Structure formats: C-alpha cells, structure tokens
Amino acid sequence: MSDNQKNIKFDPNKPLQVGGQAVIEGVMMRGPKKIATAVRRSNGDVLVRKREYKSLGEKYKFFKLPILRGAAGLVEMMFIGIETLNFSAEIAMHDLDEKERNNGGTVKKKKSASNLRLSLTVIFALLMGVAIFFITPLFITTKLFDVEQDAFWFNIIAGGIRLSILLLYLLGISLMKDVKRLFEYHGGEHKAVMSFESSKEITLESAKYSSRFHPRCGTSFILIVALASMLLFSVIDSFLILWLGKLTLPIRLMTHLPLVPLVGGVSYEFIRWSSKKTDTFIGRILVAPGLWMQRITTKEPNQEQLEVALIALRAALDLDEVKPVKYIQNVSELIAK
C-alpha cells in the first residue's frame, strides 16, 4: 500500500464518501474533495478529467440536515451525472470523427453543451422520470382499479405498477449492446469502490476479487424510492381522505408530486442507515432486493474496464496513478493536439 493511500481510508460513519457511475466507455468517481472521470478512447488511451468538488451540504449547512441532504444530493448528482455522460459522449464522438477523417471523410464541427443546455437536459430528465415512474402508475391505478378511496391498496397497486415499469425498463435496455458495456463499467465501478471500502489496496489484483454488488448503488436507491413511496403516500392519502372525504387523480397529483423530493430524502436516510448494517442478519435482508436488482444493472467487467474504474477512483482520491494517463478538461484539447 502506497504511503499516500495509508492516509485515506473509508469511514463507515460517512456513507457516500466515495461513489460514482458508469459513463460511455468509462467511469466517473466522486471523492471527498474531487470528481474524476476516466474514459478509454478507441485507440486504448485513457483520458482523465479531474476537478474540485464541494457538495451543497459543505457550502450550505442547511443541506446537511437529515432528509434534506438526500434530496439535495439527488439533484446534485443528476447534474454531475448528465454533465459527465456528456463529456464521455463527446470523447466517443471525437474518436468517430477522427476515424472518419482518417478514412477521407469530412465531419461537421460540434459545440460542447453549454450550462443552459445541461440545465435543460437535467430538467427534462427529471420531468420524464416523474412522468413515467410517478404520474403513469397513478393514472393506470385510477382508471383500471376501483380502489381510489382506499389509501393503502391504491398505493400498493400503484407501487407495484411502478416497480413493474422499472423492471421492464431495466430488462429491456440490458439487451442493448451499448448498454451492456455500460453495465460492465458499472460493475467495474462497484468492484473498485468495494476494494477501497474493504481497506484493500486500490489495485487491479485486489479489485478483481471484490464484489460487483454494492448496497449503496443507485439501483438500490431507486428501488427504495419505489417502496418508500408506497408507505409514505398511503399515510398521506389516509389523512387527505379523512380531511376531504374523497380523493381524485388531480388531488393526488397535486399532493404526491411536490413530495417526491421528500421520498428521495427518506430513501437516502434508509440507504445510509442500512449500509452500516450489512454485516447483520436484518441488514442483509434489507439490502437484498437492491443487490438482486444489480444483477440486471451490473455485469462483470473485463480487465481494461476495471483498470479505467481504478484510475478514476485513484484520481478522485488524489492518489498516485497506476499507469500513464492523459489529463484534459475538455475535448477541444484533443483537437489542439
């Protein structure tokens, strides 16, 4: 273990100290103070972009409060995630353009996404997610089942539909070749993080024997959100029925949708708590459904994919690199070279 790694150890009392996501032909990792994205180019080179990172909770103590920290972190990671995906997509497009030029073709000059476009993309993604996973189940349950005034069964059925949509979506996209590669990088990201959190050296040898299933994965978070929404909205609907006498679809939309961030915040607190209990019998039961779903969203990475995940993690932790890499801040630097 290198000297600088000895000073960086995982603290189980600070969940999400490290985390990340798969991107196109690469992995993004977030450390306590930095975000690093490593992407493998078509020629085998690994590009790394690293920048300072300060969470909303560190900037504003208000967002360190329970539940609020989860809601804020969810929105924050959506911005980071989409911006990082855009970066990896630009590298992939640059390589395709370079191949086209080498074959005698011509390519059109493209512009990087602006902050406004990034914000609009995040907003659109949020709206689509809410429409598909929150509005659609409410609409189907209202129209097809005669349980509108039964708070418990309405939300159980709506939740079941929500989970069915999620599973069908994940199973469907997992059949796509490009998504399968993304899921392999996702598995690599998990194995790298698990190696770090097990106090092992962050090396290829240690990471390849680590599990690709992680209790704090975003897949597990989405599942917990779906389950938490059943319970939370059942309680809320019960009070509304007592107060208003009956509930309609418009009323449910007006009361459920503004509380989606609250559901996310509660789900975050559950993930945070359960991740500390994975060595207990109850803890293993609680995290089991999320780990099962990761059999769909993670695949075993090959050696090159795992190397990229490790490079991203070491860069995010400011550790010495395990192999030569090229650091860039934007794709235009590749064109300049």
Output the pLDDT for position 54: 82
Output the pLDDT for position 144: 93
Domain boundaries, given as residue ranges, for the chain: 1-113+302-337, 129-175+213-297
Output the pLDDT for position 300: 94
Output the pLDDT for position 1: 46
| Cβ within 8 Å of residue 50, ≥6 positions away | 34, 35, 36, 37, 315, 316, 327
Q: In what order do the strands lie in the sheet with 326-327?
A: 19-23, 26-30, 34-40, 46-52, 326-327
pTM of this structure: 0.84
Which residues, given as ranges, of the chain have pLDDT below 70?
A: 1-17, 102-123, 125-126, 199-200, 320-324, 331-337
CA-closest candidate to residue 109, choices 97, 118, 121, 117: 97
